[in-house]
Amino acid sequence: MKSPSQPRDRGIPEATVARLPLYLRALHGMAERGIATVSSEDLAGAAGVNSAKLRKDLSHLGSYGTRGVGYEVEYLVYQISRELGLTQDWAVAIVGVGNLGRALANYGGFVSRGFRVAALVDADPEVVGDTIAGLNVEHIDDLEAVIVRRGVSIVVLATPAAAAQKVCDRVIAVGVTSILNFAPVVLSVPDGVDVRKVDLSIELQILAFHEQRKAGGPLMAVDGQ
């Protein structure tokens, strides 16, 4: 009783969602090299995952493969893009134009498909008014107005830790529900708001942990207790 070739399941597992962009990237590469169809085995290889997992992931979107053949690259690109919401474009605001914010603004790669940096905002009068990556840096006092005027729906927080929660509260107050946080703080947000965090320091610490393990475990402390 299931209609075939239709996205049916509204509830896609979070782990699957996190991998879809990976598949999409691999597929884009294949499309560029003129590959028309791909098997789950090959695509999984390119994305660095297990083929069974890939098939199960894709099965959550619908039945888009052909048994005995594989998946049509272009079609799959479209389906995944649509599922991820990349067929529309998203206006992103970057708040905090320090080292990192500036790098993000200039880093063309990450706004490749579907995303557009629509505003830069900072508190430092020294940088407000500057043009970075073709955009005028606006003052933090105008935060709400800028968000609304530019139709921003995703905010990237690249402020100092101390300012992040405040900015976060303000953008949520004007309806933003998606935040990418680079500040090293745990943001507290109401239900319905998604926060993803990127913390370089944490990543390094995790690496250090494993590195230490490989080097022979935590040093046995000489002190008895």
Answer for which of 27, 43, 92, 171 binds a copy of itself (CB under 8 A) is 92
Which whole-number Å values give the CA distances from 224 to 5, 20, 54, 220, in the listed order? Answer: 65, 50, 50, 10
User: Choosing among a copy of itself, DNA, none, which partner's interface includes residue 59 (Cβ < 5 to 8 Å by kind)?
Assistant: DNA
Per-residue binder mask for DNA (CB under 7 A), 41-80, x = binder: x-------xxxxx-xx-xx---xxxxxxxxx---------
Nearest to 182 by CA among 116, 128, 123, 104: 104
Q: Residue 164 class from Cβ within 10 Å (0-12 exposed, 13-18 middle, 19+ buried)?
A: buried
86 is an interface residue for a copy of itself by CB under 8 A: yes
State which residue, 106 or 141, has the beta carbon closest to a copy of itself: 106
Q: How far apart are CA 17 and CA 57, in angstroms?
A: 8
Single residue of 25, 39, 170, 198 touching DNA by CB under 7 A: 39
CA distances (Å), origin 101, targets 87, 156, 157, 181: 26, 9, 8, 11
- 112 counts as binding DNA under rule CB under 7 A: no
Q: Which of 171, 192, 85 is nearest to 121 (CA)?
A: 171
| Only segment of 35-43, 141-149, 162-170, 189-197 that touches a copy of itself (CB under 8 A) | 189-197
34 or 109: whose CB is closer to a copy of itself?
Answer: 109
- Cβ neighbours of residue 176 closer than 8 Å, sequence gap 6 or more: 147, 152, 153, 154, 155, 193
Structural contact between residues 211 and 186, judged by C-beta atoms closer than 8 angstroms: no
Is 23 an interacting residue with respect to DNA (CB under 7 A)? no
For a copy of itself, the binding residues (CB under 8 A) are: 5, 7, 10, 17-18, 20-22, 24-26, 46-48, 82-88, 90, 92, 99-100, 102-104, 106-107, 109-112, 114-115, 153-154, 161, 177-180, 184, 186, 188, 192, 194, 196, 198-212, 214, 217-219, 221, 225
